[in-house]
Amino acid sequence: MTALAALIRRDIKIALRVGGGALIGVLFFLTVVVLMPFAVGPDLALLTRLGPAILWLGALLASLLTLDRLFMADHEDGSLDLIVMSRTPLELTCAAKALAHWLAAGVPLILATPVLGLLLNLDATATAAVALTLLAGTPALTFTGMIGAALAVTLHRGGLLLAVLVLPLSIPVLIFGVAASQAAISGPLEFGTPFSILCALSLVSLVIGPFAAAASLRHGLD
C-alpha cells in the first residue's frame, strides 16, 4: 500500500509543479468554454440550452490533453521498466496512476465548472447538475483513456493516436453525462435515470481500465 500511496503522491506532486499539466488542463477547459459564446453569438437562451454540452465537451477535450503523458513520461525516463518489474501488481499500479491523474487533472475541471457556468448563462441548479455529472463521469474518461495511453506508450506522437482511440470510447459517457444535466435543467426525463447509467459506466471502466492498461503495457514493452 505504501508503494501505491507513494506513486499517487509523486504523480500529483509532478502534475502540480511547473510544466506538470494539471493547470494546463483547466486553462484549456477555460479557453474552449470562453470561445463558445463568441462562436454561437450573444443568444442567451441558446447558450443556456447548449451550456451542459459545451461544458462536457470542454472537460472531455481537456482531460484528453494531459492523458497521453500518463505512461509516456514514465516510459521515456525508464521509470516504467522499474514499475513493471516491481513487487506491486501492475493492475494496481495502473489504477493508482489513473487515480492520481484524475485527482490532479480531473478534479480541477469540476471545481472550475461553477465559474464557467456563469459564462454560459447557467443558473445555480444547472451548474450544480453539470458539476455533479462531471464528478460521476470524469473517472470514466480517465480510466478508459488510460487504456489508450497504455496502447500508445511506445509510439512517438502517440497523443494523436490516443485521441482517435479514446474519443469513440467516450461517446457513451458524453451522451449520459449531457442527458443527466439536461434532465436536471429542463426535464422531462428524471435526473436519476441517465445519472445511474453514467455512474455505472464509471464503475465498469474502473474495473476494466486497469486490467486492459496493464495487459497492453506488458505486451507493448520492448
Partner 1 sequence: MRLSGSGVRCVRGGREVFSGLDFAASAGEALAVTGRNGSGKTSLLRLIAGLLTPEGGSIGLEGGEGELTLPEQAHFLGHRDALKPALSVMENLAFWREFLGGEPFDLAECLATVGLDHAASLPAAFLSAGQRRRLSIARLLAARRPIWLLDEPTNALDTSGQAMFATLMGDHLARGGLIIAATHAPLGIAAREFRIGGAA
85 scored as a contact of partner 1 (CB under 8 A): yes
Examine residue 203 and tell whether it contacts partner 1 (CB under 8 A). no
- Between 129 and 168, how does the x/- string for binding to partner 1 read (CB under 8 A)? ----------------------------------------
Backbone phi, psi, residue 94, to 5°: -60, -45
Task: Record the cell numbers describing residue 39, joined without a space.
Answer: 462562436
CB of 89 to partner 1, least distance (A): 11
Q: Which of 38, 39, 45, 82 binds partner 1 (CB under 8 A)?
A: 82
Instruction: Kindly state the helix (H) or strand (E) to which residue 105 belongs, with its residue range.
Output: none
Q: How far is the CB of 61 from partner 1 (least distance, A)?
A: 25
The answer to whether the beta carbons of residues 66 and 159 sit under 8 Å apart is no
Would you say 68 or 74 has its CB closer to partner 1?
A: 74
Taking CB under 8 A as the criterion, the residue among 45, 64, 84, 191 binding partner 1 is 84
Q: Which of 39, 41, 42, 87 binds partner 1 (CB under 8 A)?
A: 87
- C-beta pairs of 3-7 under 8 Å, 24+ apart in sequence: 3/86, 3/87, 3/88, 4/88, 4/92, 4/93, 4/96, 7/83, 7/93, 7/96, 7/97, 7/100
- Binding partner 1 (rule: CB under 8 A), the pick from 19, 41, 42, 188 is 19
Q: How many residues bind partner 1 (CB under 8 A)?
A: 27
Q: Which of 41, 78, 168, 187 binds partner 1 (CB under 8 A)?
A: 78
Render the burial of 154-167: b for 16+ CB within 10 Å, e for the rest. Answer: beeebbeebbebbe
Cα 31 from Cα 148, distance rounded (Å): 25
Asked whether 67 and 149 are in contact (CB, 8 A), the reply is: yes
Nearer to partner 1, 5 or 35 (CB): 5
Residues of this chain that bind partner 1 (CB under 8 A): 2-3, 5-7, 9-10, 13-14, 17-20, 76-79, 81-88, 221-222
